[in-house]
Chains A and B, each alone.
Chain A
Amino acid sequence: MKQKLINVLDLIGFTWLIPLVRLATREEPGEQIKQFFTMVGLPVIGLVLFFVAWGVVASNIKTSVGNLPGPKKVWNSAGEMMTQHKIQKDKRAKHFDKEAARKQKYEEKFPGKTYEASQFTGSPTIVDYVRTSLITVFFGFFMAVLIAVPLGVLCGLSKNFTAAINPIIQLCRPVSPLAWVLIVIVVVDGLFEFKGDIWRNTFLHAAITVCLCSLWATLSNTALGVSAVAQDHLNVARVLNLSPLKKVWKIILPSAVPYIFTGMRITLGIGWMVLIVSEMMASQKGLGHYIDLLYQNNNNESLAKIIVCIFIIGAIGFLLDRTMFVLQRAVSFGREVSA
């Protein structure tokens, strides 16, 4: 029971809880307290020191819109953003209740006719922005994986193919998202030029930029994983006379999966970083766009909200990385994975 719980905690990356579990069963209490202190105590001390230092320094930093907001002000801003969200949510619920009632009345009055409901026009809140950003980053991420894994497998299998596309990879990989995003805007807008305005303001610009900037890590890791398949495993395939397709599907791909997941973890990390910038430039959605709006407001209150956004972005990035870390460990079958 205890060992099972520890295994589960270890598997989902909550290693810092393990000393507490052991402590609860009185297993070497001194050792467990020491471990808990290094795993939890020290990080908390670090954070506290950071906030204290920030509070002290902030009042002395002049910005173009007043002093840099300190931790307390930022905290209050965060609270206010959540209140805003609740207000909007209530409004939204009320709106739809009203609409439903109207619809019923309308249909009683004019049976057979369909009621055209009016849209809710409240402004999006922080939660909406976060949701949009997450959808966008995952869309871009999956696009990147869908492109990078097959290409990476081909690269790993064929030296000639690698030689042919390597210059393109090397050329594209260091290009900044800022450069990509402009091309993407133009191309995507062109594609949807005659399809109406609704297509212009999608998350596609940002998602495609995310894909273009982040797919390289998965591509090169997949190629590495495929070319690093153990000769012994290939010999097994040869002794059984597996067809080339089966060899790839049953031996090479599973064997490269840990590498592919390492690549995907890096891809998602880069994708999340790139996302904010591309949303700022290309779209009217998401956290990046929200930060841009706040920046245009040009006042101290907005600056505090931008800092809230930065914390949110950091926290989500961290969570995404931990999730990928857990997945990566699950497919590595005992091989070590660096946290």
Chain B
Amino acid sequence: MTTPIFSLKNVSKGFGSTESRTDVLRDINLEINDGELLAMVGFSGTGKTTLIKLLAGLETPDSGTLLFKGQPITGTDPKRGVIFQNYSLLPWLTVTGNVGLAVNQLYRDRSKKERREIIEHYIEMVGLSDAMFKRPAELSGGMRQRVSVARALSADPECLLMDEPLSALDALTRAVLQDQILEIWKEQQKTVVLITNSVDEAILMADRIIPFTPGTPSTLGPAFKVPLPRPRSRRSMNRNDLFKRLRNDIIHFLESEKKKTQAAVEDDRLLEIKQAS
């Protein structure tokens, strides 16, 4: 077995100073294999974004070890491309400018012409050649996210960390972009970590799905392998028994965990009432 591209051991992360501190993630143990498409699902507020930031090197863990290809992660690295939930495009730059920001930074030794070609190549890859000189304000949500994908890809990263990249989009655009991301993943053979709040999206796209337990601090649930053959068609999915069972299992896990935490909160409250009376 090859070494995993990411490996996390007992990683915990919290925010705030000692007194008003909230732990967001606790005891995260995770190995991500090279080239796999891993989806992570969870309710909002369960530290999904925090995990992506840890993997990207934008945050450092409070405890535990965090390895990228066997080396501890000490900071950001263009090899780990990030696609942010709200696109994070620079509003004063055109599509070319936004992608160019990454290309000009990472291909400094290339000539202007070569860089130009690289920029155009990635814009074409996400199908935005017609909008090259438009600014983000003139683009739809789906187009903006495609620019963000092109920018991340143009750095030729070894993995793509996607933080709910599609959750702000309407269902139709979402489906189109799902296919596009899958195509790029297949073509480029990059590891993809996809954070999502949609179980269906996870099953449709991923090799493996790991749920977050609800509430804070959150940790990871058991991994669900998705043995469905690719390409997976949205229409046949709904009738596929394996798909249905997987979806049931994952939703069941998330809900039962939620009930558990709610029950725990309830217990605490009862205890308080008892003690008070």
Q: Which of A232, A239, A251, A331 has the most CB of B within 10 A?
A: A239
The residue on A at minimum CB distance from B103 is A240
Q: Mark B72-83, 1 if CB is under 8 A from A, else 0.
A: 000111101110
Cβ of A123 within 8 Å of any chain B Cβ, yes or no, is: no
- A77 and B82 alpha carbons, distance in the complex (Å): 69
Contact (A241, B77) CB under 8 Å given A235-B58, A236-B88, A254-B90: yes
Report B-chain residues with C-beta under 8 Å of the C-beta of A239. 56, 58, 76, 78, 80-82
Cβ of A255 within 8 Å of any chain B Cβ, yes or no, is: yes
Cβ of A98 within 8 Å of any chain B Cβ, yes or no, is: no
Cβ of B227 within 8 Å of any chain A Cβ, yes or no, is: no
Contact (A235, B88) CB under 8 Å given A240-B101, A240-B105, A241-B105: yes
Report A-chain residues with C-beta under 8 Å of the C-beta of B81. 239
| A238 and B76 contact, CB distance less than 8 A | yes
Cβ of B184 within 8 Å of any chain A Cβ, yes or no, is: no
| B90 and A251 contact, CB distance less than 8 A | yes
| B76 and A241 contact, CB distance less than 8 A | yes
Cβ of A334 within 8 Å of any chain B Cβ, yes or no, is: yes
- How many positions in chain B have a CB within 8 Å of any CB in the partner chain? 23
CB-contacts of B132-166 with A (<8 A): 135, 137, 155
- A242 and B108 alpha carbons, distance in the complex (Å): 12
- A235 and B84 alpha carbons, distance in the complex (Å): 9
Report A-chain residues with C-beta under 8 Å of the C-beta of B56. 239
Report A-chain residues with C-beta under 8 Å of the C-beta of B263. none
Interface residues on A, range: 10 to 19
Cβ of B86 within 8 Å of any chain A Cβ, yes or no, is: yes
Cβ of B106 within 8 Å of any chain A Cβ, yes or no, is: yes
Q: Mark A62-97, 1 if CB is under 8 A from B, else 0.
A: 000000000000000000000000000000000000
The residue on B at minimum CB distance from A334 is B137
| A240 and B102 contact, CB distance less than 8 A | yes
- A333 and B86 alpha carbons, distance in the complex (Å): 17
Contact (A250, B101) CB under 8 Å given A232-B84, A236-B90, A333-B135: yes
Cβ of A2 within 8 Å of any chain B Cβ, yes or no, is: no
| B82 and A235 contact, CB distance less than 8 A | yes
Cβ of A233 within 8 Å of any chain B Cβ, yes or no, is: yes
Report B-chain residues with C-beta under 8 Å of the C-beta of A241. 76-78, 105
Report A-chain residues with C-beta under 8 Å of the C-beta of B75. 238
Q: How would you classify the secondary structure of chain B's contact residues: helix, strand, loop or mixed?
A: loop
Residue from the list B78, B84, B92 in contact with A240, Cβ < 8 A:
B78
- A255 and B91 alpha carbons, distance in the complex (Å): 8
- A250 and B102 alpha carbons, distance in the complex (Å): 11
| A242 and B105 contact, CB distance less than 8 A | yes
| A255 and B92 contact, CB distance less than 8 A | yes
| A233 and B76 contact, CB distance less than 8 A | no
Q: Mark A138-175, 1 if CB is under 8 A from B, else 0.
A: 00000000000000000000000000000000000000
- B192 vs chain A, min Cβ distance (A): 16
- A333 and B91 alpha carbons, distance in the complex (Å): 7
Report B-chain residues with C-beta under 8 Å of the C-beta of A333. 91-92, 135, 137
- A282 and B77 alpha carbons, distance in the complex (Å): 58
Q: Mark A239-255, 1 if CB is under 8 A from B, else 0.
A: 11110001000110011
Q: Which of B76, B84, B135, B155 has the most CB of A within 10 A?
A: B76
Q: Mark A289-312, 1 if CB is under 8 A from B, else 0.
A: 000000000000000000000000
CB-contacts of B229-256 with A (<8 A): none
Q: Mark A198-235, 1 if CB is under 8 A from B, else 0.
A: 00000000000000000000000000000000101101
| A334 and B91 contact, CB distance less than 8 A | yes
- A241 and B82 alpha carbons, distance in the complex (Å): 12
- A243 and B88 alpha carbons, distance in the complex (Å): 19
| B106 and A233 contact, CB distance less than 8 A | no
Report B-chain residues with C-beta under 8 Å of the C-beta of A233. 88, 90
Residue from the list B58, B91, B92, B102 in contact with A238, Cβ < 8 A:
B58
Cβ of A21 within 8 Å of any chain B Cβ, yes or no, is: no
CB-contacts of A252-266 with B (<8 A): 254-255, 257
Report A-chain residues with C-beta under 8 Å of the C-beta of B84. 232, 235-236
Report A-chain residues with C-beta under 8 Å of the C-beta of B91. 333-334
| B92 and A257 contact, CB distance less than 8 A | yes
- A313 and B169 alpha carbons, distance in the complex (Å): 53
- A242 and B93 alpha carbons, distance in the complex (Å): 16
Report A-chain residues with C-beta under 8 Å of the C-beta of B105. 240-242, 246
CB-contacts of B53-89 with A (<8 A): 56, 58, 75-78, 80-82, 84, 86, 88
Could you show 27 A-B contacts with beta carbons less than 8 Å apart?
Answer: A232-B84, A232-B86, A232-B88, A233-B88, A233-B90, A235-B84, A236-B84, A236-B88, A236-B90, A238-B58, A239-B56, A239-B76, A239-B78, A239-B82, A240-B101, A240-B102, A240-B106, A240-B155, A241-B77, A242-B105, A250-B101, A251-B90, A254-B92, A333-B92, A333-B135, A333-B137, A334-B137
Extra pairs beyond A235-B58, A333-B135 (10, CB < 8 Å): A232-B86, A236-B90, A238-B58, A239-B56, A240-B102, A241-B78, A241-B105, A254-B90, A254-B93, A333-B91
Binding site for B on A (CB under 8 A): 230, 232-233, 235-236, 238-242, 246, 250-251, 254-255, 257, 331, 333-334
Which 4 A-B pairs rank lowest in CB-CB distance, beginning with the nearest?
A232-B88, A334-B137, A238-B76, A254-B92
